[in-house]
């Protein structure tokens, strides 16, 4: 999904899910449905929703509510709602995801993405002060993750690219044009190197910089 190969991801995901189901691994199916961020058109949103509720019921039988699998489940719900322009629903799901991640005794890198997505929806809903604080926190978390990777010789980070483009969008919506451009400029090399030119985030960063250039 994140690199723009949506149909391939959906097809492979469905094959993996079917293999788990055929082997009788219902927990495996539930884990897949909880973490799956897409909703194939052939399945339909109603069926996807049912899959997630079934997954929630199965996982609840063996996991504490603070288990990050439930955070991933809410993240998937939020991403599906966001893809359909349902900002309020997406915002609620991302807020739940962040809360569960924060309640977990172990830090999960995916919490960084959840925070950035929550900031995006807050911004879209006009909650600019909260969105700015939230996205700055996400970028700070991403920098911490990247610093460890950079020390090992990795010059770019998908976490950095994803949080920085979210920061650019949030800053632009808040009227901070120069700061937004700076975030987009920093995001683009990370996104190109780690996710490729076709990734939605890469295209968003390039389009945002092109719009800034045209406005000069």
CB 196 within 8 A of CB 209: no
Write out the DSSP string of 120-144.
Answer: HHHHHTT-HHHHHHHHHHHHHHHHH
User: Can you tell me the mean pLDDT for 134-163?
Assistant: 93
> Which SS3 state, helix, strand or coil, does residue 104 take?
coil
Name the token pair of 132: 């700015």
Which residue is it, tokens 């990247």? 146
Mean pLDDT lowest among 1-10, 57-66, 109-118, 155-164: 1-10
User: Can you tell me the mean pLDDT for 169-185?
Assistant: 98
Name the token pair of 167: 């920061």
118 has pLDDT over 80 = yes
pLDDT band at 41 (very low <50, low <70, confident <90, very high): low
0.75 cut: is pTM over it? yes
In this structure, the number of other CB atoms found within 10 A of the CB of residue 94 comes to 29
As a whole number, the mean pLDDT across the chain is 88
User: Can you tell me the mean pLDDT for 116-130?
Assistant: 98
Q: Tell me how far apart the alpha carbons of residues 73 and 75 are, in angstroms, rounded to a whole number.
A: 5
Between these two residues, 94 and 34, which has the higher pLDDT value?
Answer: 94
- Helix H segments across the chain? 6-22, 26-35, 45-60, 68-83, 87-103, 110-124, 128-151, 158-173, 177-194, 200-215
Mean pLDDT lowest among 42-51, 59-68, 127-136, 189-198: 42-51
In whole angstroms, how large is the CA radius of gyration of the chain? 18
Non-local CB neighbours of 17 within 8 Å, separated by 6+ positions: 29, 32, 33, 36
């Amino acid at each position: 999904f994140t690199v723009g190969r949506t149909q391939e991801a959906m097809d492979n995901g469905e094959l993996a899910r079917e293999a788990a189901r055929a082997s009788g691994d219902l927990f495996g199916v539930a884990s897949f449905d909880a973490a799956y961020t897409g909703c194939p058109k052939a399945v339909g949103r109603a069926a996807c929703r049912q899959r997630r509720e079934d997954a929630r019921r199965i996982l609840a039988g063996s996991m504490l509510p603070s288990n990050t699998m439930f955070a991933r489940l809410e993240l998937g719900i939020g991403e599906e709602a966001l893809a359909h322009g349902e900002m309020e629903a997406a915002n609620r799901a991302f807020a739940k995801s962040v809360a569960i991640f924060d309640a977990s005794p172990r830090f999960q890198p995916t919490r960084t993405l959840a925070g950035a997505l929550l900031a995006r929806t807050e911004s879209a809903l006009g909650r600019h002060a909260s969105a700015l604080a939230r996205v700055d926190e996400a970028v700070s978390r991403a920098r911490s993750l990247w610093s460890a990777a950079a020390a090992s010789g990795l010059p770019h980070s998908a976490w950095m690219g994803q949080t920085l483009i979210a920061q650019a969008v949030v800053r632009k919506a808040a009227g901070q044009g120069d700061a937004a451009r700076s975030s987009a400029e920093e995001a683009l090399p990370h996104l190109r190197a780690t996710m490729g030119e076709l990734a939605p985030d890469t295209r968003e960063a390039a389009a945002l910089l092109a719009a800034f250039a045209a406005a000069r």
